[in-house]
């Protein structure tokens, strides 16, 4: 009888300690999503905590394994950035434990490490590539995932990623950014007709028109440009990507509004000293330019939220 009671006590102790063992394991990690990382306030509230997140390693991650670019889409070579900036978007930099390095894998991975957040939303970490980001995961390690670990929408998400459409969408946002902020684009230096190197300048209105008519942004002026992009998306799955289509239509309306301002002459110029180039020049301002930039930020944030909403 004594032995039986002793046995029961051992079993009870094991049952009591088992939940504690579990609590000290996986449950210690706060599960991040790419969408939740869009909120600086949320990230700051868990600064220094142990976190985990699923994603893919971009192939452009440093070959020396010093860190990786983690993304929520497969087959993406380069980190995403907010248009016309080096500010990372839907991309997380992950650093290994001291003295260790990461090996590349094309498989989906689960990253676990410590969240490090910049002191304020306008402070940024930087890396050797010049990218800016206000949070990262450090002292990290990862494990590969299997197909059974993936969400229900994985198949359609993978098909979308394989299509390369995401790169076209980023190219589209580059176009929208240009028509909304062409006066902020500049040429650092140029060579004149006599072969002399001249100082830089901010674009004139005619420079912007030339870029849109026959330059590297002329693709966006095709009357069917946005329609064709949407057709490609809906060919994959019309229902799954309806929110993305709505976002692209918003970007189209904004681009048209900004385009019309340029061609209707809704801008002014002022001849003044430009410290950046150490010269006097005509500097252009778009009428309602701040409103255009505000609308652009909102539309792009909508896209970031949509993209970040796809989780493994």
Task: Note the pLDDT of residue 25.
Answer: 54
Residues 183 and 78 reside in one and the same domain: no
| Alpha helices by DSSP H, 72-182 | 154-163, 165-181
Tell me how many domains the chain contains.
2
- Average pLDDT of the residues of the chain: 89
Residues 85 and 164 reside in one and the same domain: no
Residues 119 and 186 reside in one and the same domain: no
Q: In CATH, what number is assigned to the domain containing residue 99?
A: 2.40.50.870
Read off the pLDDT of residues 296-307 as tens digits, 9 standing for 90 and up: 999 999 999 999
- Domain boundary pick from 149, 177, 208: 149
Whether residue 81 is contained in a domain is answered as yes
Residues 209 and 135 reside in one and the same domain: no
Task: Note the pLDDT of residue 151.
Answer: 67
Whether residue 50 is contained in a domain is answered as yes
CB 302 within 8 A of CB 284: no
Residues 134 and 96 reside in one and the same domain: yes
Read off the pLDDT of residues 206-232 as tens digits, 9 standing for 90 and up: 999 999 999 999 999 999 999 999 999
Read off the pLDDT of residues 154-177 as tens digits, 9 standing for 90 and up: 788 888 988 999 999 999 999 999
Residues 46 and 100 reside in one and the same domain: yes
- Helix and strand numbers (H, E) in the chain are 8, 14
**Contacts with 239 (C-beta within 8 Å, 6 or more apart), sequence order:** none
Read off the pLDDT of residues 247-302 as tens digits, 9 standing for 90 and up: 999 999 999 999 999 999 999 999 999 999 989 999 999 999 999 999 999 999 99
Residues 304 and 206 reside in one and the same domain: yes
Reading the block at residue 249, the tokens are 């239509």
Residue 147 clears pLDDT 90, i.e. is over it: no
Q: Which domain holds residue 304?
A: 154-308
Q: Is 287 left (phi over 0), alpha (psi -120 to 50) or beta?
A: beta
Residues 158 and 304 reside in one and the same domain: yes
Residues 81 and 182 reside in one and the same domain: no
Whether residue 14 is contained in a domain is answered as no
Whether residue 223 is contained in a domain is answered as yes
- Domain boundary pick from 116, 149, 182: 149
Local structure of 61: helix, strand or coil: coil
Whether residue 201 is contained in a domain is answered as yes
State the pLDDT confidence band at 75, using cuts at 50, 70 and 90.
Answer: confident
Whether residue 6 is contained in a domain is answered as no
Whether residue 117 is contained in a domain is answered as yes
Whether residue 9 is contained in a domain is answered as no
Residues 44 and 138 reside in one and the same domain: yes
Task: Note the pLDDT of residue 26.
Answer: 55
Read off the pLDDT of residues 2-36 as tens digits, 9 standing for 90 and up: 443 443 344 444 344 444 333 345 568 999 999 99
CA distance 121 to 192: 42
Task: Note the pLDDT of residue 78.
Answer: 81
Residues 141 and 253 reside in one and the same domain: no
- Domain boundary pick from 97, 118, 149: 149
CA distance 134 to 307: 19
- Dihedral Cα 203, 208, 211, 214, nearest 10 deg: -140
DSSP state, 146?
A: -
Residues 224 and 279 reside in one and the same domain: yes
């Amino acid at each position: 009888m004594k032995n039986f009671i002793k046995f029961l006590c051992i079993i009870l102790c094991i049952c009591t300690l088992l939940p504690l063992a579990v609590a000290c394991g996986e449950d210690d990690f706060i599960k991040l999503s790419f969408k939740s990382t869009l909120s600086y306030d949320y990230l700051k509230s868990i600064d220094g905590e142990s976190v985990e997140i699923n994603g893919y390693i971009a192939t452009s991650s440093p070959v020396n394994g010093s860190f990786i670019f983690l993304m929520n889409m497969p087959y993406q070579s380069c980190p995403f950035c907010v248009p016309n900036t080096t500010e990372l978007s839907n991309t997380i930099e992950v650093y290994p434990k001291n003295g260790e390095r990461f090996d590349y894998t094309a498989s989906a991975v689960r990253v676990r490490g410590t969240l490090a957040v910049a002191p304020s939303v306008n402070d940024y970490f930087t890396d050797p590539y010049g990218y800016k980001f206000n949070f990262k995961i450090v002292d990290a390690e990862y494990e590969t995932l299997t197909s059974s670990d993936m969400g229900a929408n994985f198949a359609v998400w993978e098909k979308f990623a394989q299509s390369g459409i995401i790169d076209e969408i980023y190219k589209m946002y580059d176009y929208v950014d240009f028509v909304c902020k062409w006066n902020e684009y500049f040429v650092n230096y140029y060579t004149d007709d006599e072969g002399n190197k001249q100082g830089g300048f901010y674009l004139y209105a005619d420079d912007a028109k030339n870029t849109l008519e026959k330059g590297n942004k002329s693709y966006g002026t095709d009357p069917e440009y946005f329609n064709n992009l949407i057709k490609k998306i809906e060919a994959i799955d019309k229902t799954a990507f309806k929110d993305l289509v709505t976002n692209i239509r918003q970007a189209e309306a904004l681009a048209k509004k900004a385009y019309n301002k340029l061609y209707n002459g809704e801008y002014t110029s002022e001849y003044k000293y430009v410290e950046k180039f150490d010269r006097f020049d005509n500097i252009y301002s778009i009428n309602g330019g701040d409103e255009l930039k505000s609308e652009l930020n909102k539309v792009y944030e909508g896209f970031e939220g949509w993209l970040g909403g796809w989780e493994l």
